Structure 1
């Protein structure tokens, strides 16, 4: 498990915004991942999509890494933010854009 934790730590450390998702940003494979991509696109930030369907070790490891049972999962500047529902709540309240601005993440 240490190996996968190191891989995930490396992934979330390389980009300002990382979305662990089912599918890719151009071709999401579930409604929740699609909604997460749409939110990030609307916020105008650059982000890395990690397709957990292509790597079962990452798919299981990310759940333990964040102690969050579902996918998608959003990380901003290495910190876990939440899943699709939390992203939607934060987006609707203006909190997600505020977080992205405060963390000075790269724009798309």
Structure 2
């Protein structure tokens, strides 16, 4: 992992209210966990940026160190690491994710 990849990840996280580091794209997720994460965000009407970690090995490895979280996808809201698809699903089911997105203005009312 390089300082360059950490800097690029920080810039992406800081520049977007909601960003999902995932495998593939929202239209063509490349794993079930990324697909589920996109489905949750779409269902909540979230306006989010996505980063395909398969396109950049530096980001793919760097994001795991950046968050100290071993798996992808990874969701960030307002610069804060939220979690992977399991945590997103739990937060979705309890309404916590919708509340968080509403509070940040990242989801449609």
Question: Normalization by structure 1: what TM-score?
Answer: 0.96
Aligned position for 2:73: 72
Measured against aligned partners, the alpha-carbon deviations of 1:46-65 in whole angstroms (never above 9, x if no partner) come to 11110000001000000000
- Any residues of structure 2 matched to 1:22-61 within 5 Å, and which? 22-61=23-62
Q: How many aligned residue pairs are there?
A: 107
The answer to whether the 8 A contact 2:19-2:49 is kept is yes
**Runs of 4+ more than 4 Å apart:** none
Once residues 66 and 11 of structure 2 are traced to their aligned partners in structure 1, the CA distance between those partners, rounded to angstroms, is 12
Aligned position for 1:15: 16
Unaligned runs of 5+ in 1: none
Once residues 84 and 11 of structure 2 are traced to their aligned partners in structure 1, the CA distance between those partners, rounded to angstroms, is 20
Once residues 26 and 10 of structure 1 are traced to their aligned partners in structure 2, the CA distance between those partners, rounded to angstroms, is 24
C-alpha RMSD of the superposition? 0.9
The answer to whether the 8 A contact 1:23-1:29 is kept is yes
